[in-house]
Amino acid sequence: MSSPANETAAGSARRFGAFGGVFTPSILTILGVVMYLRLGWVVGQAGLAGALAIVLLSHVISIATGLSVSSIATNRTVGAGGAYFMISRSLGGPAGAAVGIPLFFAQALSIAFYVVGFAESLSMLPIPADPRLVGTVVCVALTLISLKGTDLAIKTQYVVMGAIGLSLVSFFLGRADSPPAAVAWHNPAGLPFATVFAVFFPAVTGIMAGVSMSGDLRDSRRDLPRGTLSAIGAGLVIYLAVPIWLAVNADSATLAGDFRVMWSIAYVPALIFVGVWAATLSSALGSILAAPRTLQALALDGFMPKLFARGSGPANEPRYGLVFSFVLAEIAVLLGGLDVIAQVLTMFFLATYGVTNLACGLEKWAASPSFRPTFSVPWWISLFGAGACFYVMSIIDLPAMLAALVICGLIYSLAQRKSLGNTFGDARHGIWAALVRSSLHRYRRAQFHPVNWRPNLIIFGGSLARRTYLADLGCALVQDRGIVSFSQLIEGNVRDKAAERQSALALLEEQVKQEYPLLFCRVDVVEDVHRGIVSVAQSYGAGNFEANAVMFGWSDKPERQEALLLSMIDLMALDRSVLAVRFDNQRGFGVGRRIDIWWGGLERNGALMLLLAYLLNSDDHWREAEVRILTVVGSESQQETAERELERVMAQTRLSANRRVLCEPDTVITEIMRRESRDSDLVLLGLRQPRPRETATEFFGHYDRLLDVLPTTMLVASAPSFEGAPVLFDFPSPPEPGAEDPAREEE
């Protein structure tokens, strides 16, 4: 995706100021067909109080959106595309496409909305005319004017604004022949509030006509806020004054049933006709200028066919987009009525307003150093505007709102799958960073209870390519319950190894991205492996959110065993659980059908081994695995006691596992373990604390005699503070079956 193309494509076309490029198209779209043909109907249906409430609620949304637009516009130069540009550069390309594509169709439909309004106004004259034919002729004429260039269209709007001004003067100077005795503040018999609101709301969507001209402005940072907020303010004053004057001069029945009520009140009725025609045609013209530019911006970013990215002439006029917009508008003219189109437009524009507010609010809340608008708006105002938009959508038509969200979601998903080269530098990273920061502060203040234990695992595996089994097992254990990280240590001097570290990190991130999406990775330069493991394990994390378990590969090389033993002793002293994996290169993890837990009961590792087996059972590879608990006792009386205790343990844990209590005092432990676990895919075995003055050769030699007869095995040493009982059991502490330690010295 070529962001620079989008942001500079219309560089030579920046020639309008705040008044001509923003205020004029905005106010002319605001003072459009709704004011002349539907505002009286709104007052008649809802009463004056309801009408004013609708006007104010609509303007609360438009003011919040205008403030958000102004804030974003004063932070960065807004390129072509208006609202789409702002959303895509704040929330990312896919989010921009999810809103920008529906916005384009809404703008194209709004052309039809205003054209149909013009045709409807002609039906009030004694002139026989087919509204569809009139609409088609008007669409063609407006398209031809736009093809001549934006300059002609803008100059035409100055004339139109004068005509609208004269019509409003005529309306407020006039008076009805027989005004009602009292103003109708309420109309209980009228249509529901939401229905009336949906018909009125397109009146305040005009600000997007000015925003969409962003690529044609001389200084969008200055012109967009001035023009947008001025248009909203002027529109609010007029939309509050007109309903009051209508209610003073006509009763509810007349207002609801006669669309020509403004004619009957006006001092010079003919000026109202001129105003209607001027307003509807200028609004349609504003929309026909906006829609192709939104489409062009989408195409420049790769979200629409490249054909629509092409511009014509020195001003880069989007003529292909203009023709496509005309086709869509013409279809709507031939198929739809005014009220139907109005409700569809309301949904599309509310969605656009909502996401624009959301984009500004999140940028402000995330407090990114790059977001420095000169027109600053509190984040809660923007988020309030977003919430108001989505709430109003729900009360107007909840199924339509859900359908709109599904459509936006599908567009978002498709845009993400295209994997376009996003060079926007949008705010998503800052938003996620702010969420992480906020969550970590809350996590720090929350009191930890053992029942909330979850695995936060760091894997020391050297090269990932050589020890993928550690990443496989670590990800299977943690899944989405905690954090799993892969750490690669490079021995040497930081200054000498800095470049090697960067290249190793890039390679590791690429491997992780493709094969282990849930795995975090890091590369550290350390003086020696032992100190590196201990240093990284105790410093990894933020605050009290830190790794609580460490995994590494078991070593059979004497030159590495001393450092590994020291690491295990220090890690246990640091209150970390230790998981040492001895991998069977021939069998690997087998078919994932059996997990054996050898429960000794002397080192209190059983609870953690049970929990790890349960976590593995949730992974796809191990989902069908049978879990077996095996323990060895020295006498028949111990066997009965152990069987009862194991049965009680499993009943309390609500875990499914088969139990085997073995009593073979004359058989060496290695033979028992070989026989029982030779067909297993993974064995969990308790790892005891090294004895005082026990050498690495003695410690590793003791376990190597067991591991030589077993398939892939994970040796587990529980952290001193780990409490498995609250996680697994319904009573304070897990009962131990009183068995012998399978890792005892063979006799």
CATH number, residue 496:
3.40.50
Residues 6+ apart with CB under 8 A from 61: 204, 350, 353, 385, 388, 389, 392
Q: What is the pLDDT of residues 146-190, one digit of tens each?
A: 877 666 666 777 888 889 999 999 999 998 888 887 888 888 777
One-letter amino acid at 674 equals R
Q: Residue 338 pLDDT more than 90?
A: no
- Residue where one domain finishes, among candidates 576, 596, 618: 576
Q: Residue 711 pLDDT more than 90?
A: yes
Instruction: Give the residue numbers spanning the domain of 726.
Output: 584-747
Is the separation of the CB atoms in 298 and 304 below 8 Å?
yes
- Residue where one domain finishes, among candidates 525, 558, 576: 576
Which residue bears the tokens 């845009």? 415
Does residue 441 form part of some domain?
A: no
Q: What is the pLDDT of residues 295-311, one digit of tens each?
A: 998 998 888 888 888 87
Cα–Cα dist 420/1, whole Å:
5
* 409 & 453 share domain: no
Tokens in use for 722? 């780990």
> What average pLDDT does the segment 31-47 reach?
86
> What average pLDDT does the segment 587-608 reach?
84
Cα–Cα dist 661/106, whole Å:
72
Is the separation of the CB atoms in 707 and 682 below 8 Å?
no
Q: Residue 589 pLDDT more than 90?
A: yes
* 332 & 296 share domain: yes
Q: Residue 489 pLDDT more than 80?
A: yes
Question: Taking Cα atoms as reference points, which of 73, 15, 10, 90 lies closest to residue 300?
Answer: 10
Does residue 433 form part of some domain?
A: no
Q: Residue 237 pLDDT more than 90?
A: yes
Question: Residue 722 in 3-state DSSP?
Answer: coil
Residue-by-residue DSSP string for 97-140: HHHHHHHHHHHHHHHHHHHHHHHHHHTTSS----HHHHHHHHHH
Q: Place 6 in a pLDDT band, splitting at 50, 70 and 90.
A: very low
* 477 & 421 share domain: no
Question: Taking Cα atoms as reference points, which of 576, 575, 577, 580 lies closest to residue 565?
Answer: 580
Q: What is the CATH number of the domain that holds 678?
A: 3.40.50.620
> What average pLDDT does the segment 572-591 reach?
92
Does residue 436 form part of some domain?
A: no
Does residue 440 form part of some domain?
A: no
* 86 & 214 share domain: yes
For residue 630, give the DSSP letter. E
Low-confidence winner among 161-175, 233-247, 337-351, 421-435 (lowest mean pLDDT):
421-435
Does residue 438 form part of some domain?
A: no
Cα–Cα dist 739/504, whole Å:
47
* 540 & 603 share domain: no
* 470 & 558 share domain: yes
* 459 & 540 share domain: yes
| pLDDT of 601 | 63
Does residue 143 form part of some domain?
A: yes
| pLDDT of 32 | 77
* 571 & 608 share domain: no
* 273 & 308 share domain: yes
| pLDDT of 655 | 74
- Residue 487's DSSP bridge partners are 460, 522
* 164 & 276 share domain: yes
| pLDDT of 465 | 82
Q: How many domains, the chain?
A: 3
Rg (C-alpha) for the chain, rounded Å, is: 36
Does residue 675 form part of some domain?
A: yes
* 606 & 551 share domain: no
Q: What is the pLDDT of residues 520-540, one digit of tens each?
A: 999 999 988 888 899 988 888
> What average pLDDT does the segment 708-736 reach?
76
Does residue 439 form part of some domain?
A: no
| pLDDT of 12 | 41
Q: What is the CATH number of the domain that holds 402?
A: 1.20.1740.10
For the chain, percent of residues with pLDDT exceeding 70: 88
**Model confidence, pTM:** 0.67
* 453 & 402 share domain: no
Question: Considering the chain, what is the average pLDDT of its residues?
Answer: 82
Low-confidence winner among 83-92, 167-176, 209-218, 638-647 (lowest mean pLDDT):
209-218
Q: Give one word for 482, left, alpha or beta, with left for phi > 0 and alpha for psi -120 to 50.
A: beta
Cα–Cα dist 426/416, whole Å:
15
Give Cα separations from 538 to 443, 453, 455, 462, 554 (angstroms). 18, 18, 15, 18, 21
Q: Residue 73 pLDDT more than 60?
A: yes
Residue-by-residue DSSP string for 494-548: HHHHHHHHHHHHHHHHHHHHHH-TTEEEEEEEESSHHHHHHHHHHH-EETTEE--
| pLDDT of 159 | 85
Which residue bears the tokens 């806020």? 225
- Residue where one domain finishes, among candidates 369, 397, 428: 428
End-to-end CA distance of the chain: 70
Q: Residue 11 pLDDT more than 60?
A: no
| pLDDT of 7 | 43
Q: Place 460 in a pLDDT band, splitting at 50, 70 and 90.
A: very high
| pLDDT of 459 | 92
Q: What is the pLDDT of residues 95-149, one digit of tens each?
A: 888 888 888 888 888 888 788 878 877 776 666 667 788 888 888 988 888 877 6
